[in-house]
Amino acid sequence: MSAEKIINDWKKKNFKPIYWLEGEEDYYIDMVVNYAEHQILDESEAGFNLTVFYGRDAEWSAVVNACKRYPMFAERQVVVLKEAQQMKDIEKLESYVEHPLASTIFVVAYKTKNLDKRTKLSKLLKQHAEVLTSEKIKDFKIQEWIKEMVTTKEYTISSKAMVLLEEHIGNDLSRMANEIDKLSVNLKGRKEITEDDIEEFIGISKEYNVFELQAAIAKKDLSKAITIIQYFDGNPKAGPIQMVLPALYASFSKIYTVFGMNDKSEAGLKPHFYYNATAVKNALDTIRNYGYEGIERILLLLHQYNLKSLGVGDTGTPDASLMKEMVVKMIA
């Protein structure tokens, strides 16, 4: 069961008594909870028939009693339990889950993890509830997700703008959706999101970012790489080392896998890099300038300097100095 399917069913007035939302990805859980809280009931109904609990403060008995109430002046009531993973004695909801009230829509948000499948509660939920398991998006699917999100809002996005969003925000879908909403508000009638829009409205420099740093390393352009790192030093939020090094490692690791491919031509690499022409060009530059052993050495240096940034084998060298030292060793 997906978040979209649950909401589409609700729009058609198709309701089940219990919805259990669990998993590491908050975005889809929040989407369903927000709709349940603000859209299922109209304003006049919600005043009498909407009850919201928070797991840290909620008593299981109070939640069950709320679920067993009958709606007032409406066909149904909504009970929402947020942050259910923090609730004590949550297993005591078993009796209600086994015999839910048809006129109650009980929505439970159990974030950051999944319920232990061996428990009686989990087995009862499988029988009597709609269960949504919200998993973290895989890194290789982020660009696809961005494109789909933009398309649903009837916009398009340039390849470079998409890469900037991916590199800067990563797989934080809630933040990504907020930034895309911000962009759509500021475009003022235009339908394409460009790298200029990313820079102006989100504050991600199109010239000084992780993607451009990777490109500079790929081309062995030491001057450009140092300039970008100096920009990061003056603008800490633009490129903290804890974001830069993992992003570089992911990018160069993907290029490293090219050596295991039969077709290493530009055409052969396009599917591997999701038809991103800029990423293909960077990969070819890297392979040409470094070869197998050079890219392997880059990955080892990234691992070494990631440890240094965490204080392993280093006495507190500033982040910018660590990155400069690292790229000099890479390019030299």
Q: Look at residues 151, 181, 202 and tell me which one is the last residue of a structural domain.
A: 202
Cβ-Cβ contacts under 8 Å for 239 (sequence gap 6 or more)? 208, 209, 210, 213, 228, 229, 231, 232
Q: Look at residues 159, 179, 202 and tell me which one is the last residue of a structural domain.
A: 202
pLDDT of residue 274: 75
Q: Say yes or no: 165 and 260 in one domain.
A: no
Sequence letter at residue 220: K
Q: Say yes or no: 157 and 185 in one domain.
A: yes
pLDDT tens string 137-146: 887 788 889 9
Q: State the CATH number of the domain containing residue 175.
A: 1.10.8.60
Cβ-Cβ contacts under 8 Å for 14 (sequence gap 6 or more)? none
Q: Look at residues 133, 167, 193 and tell me which one is the last residue of a structural domain.
A: 133
Predicted TM-score of the model (pTM): 0.74
d(CA 227, CA 119): 56
Q: Say yes or no: 221 and 262 in one domain.
A: yes
Q: Residue 31's closest CA among 63, 4, 8, 56?
A: 4
How confident is residue 26, by pLDDT bands cut at 50, 70 and 90? very high
Q: Say yes or no: 72 and 178 in one domain.
A: no
Q: Give per-residue burial for 291-325: e unless 16+ CB within 10 Å, then b.
A: eeeebeebeebbeebbebbeeeeeeeeebbebbbe
pLDDT tens string 32-67: 999 999 999 999 999 999 999 999 999 999 999 999
pLDDT of residue 164: 87
pLDDT tens string 151-175: 999 999 998 898 889 888 888 899 9
Q: Say yes or no: 264 and 223 in one domain.
A: yes
How confident is residue 214, by pLDDT bands cut at 50, 70 and 90? very high
Q: Say yes or no: 165 and 195 in one domain.
A: yes
Q: Say yes or no: 283 and 239 in one domain.
A: yes
Q: Say yes or no: 55 and 127 in one domain.
A: yes
Q: Say yes or no: 87 and 102 in one domain.
A: yes
* Domain count for the chain: 3
How confident is residue 133, by pLDDT bands cut at 50, 70 and 90? very high
Cβ-Cβ contacts under 8 Å for 86 (sequence gap 6 or more)? 54, 55, 56
DSSP string, 221-237: -HHHHHHHHHHHHHSTT
Q: Say yes or no: 189 and 246 in one domain.
A: no
Q: State the CATH number of the domain containing residue 87.
A: 3.40.50.300
Q: Say yes or no: 225 and 285 in one domain.
A: yes
Tell me the average pLDDT across 289-295.
96
pLDDT of residue 168: 82
Under DSSP, the state recorded for 318 is -
Domain of residue 239 covers 210-331
pLDDT tens string 201-211: 998 888 899 98
Q: Say yes or no: 32 and 115 in one domain.
A: yes
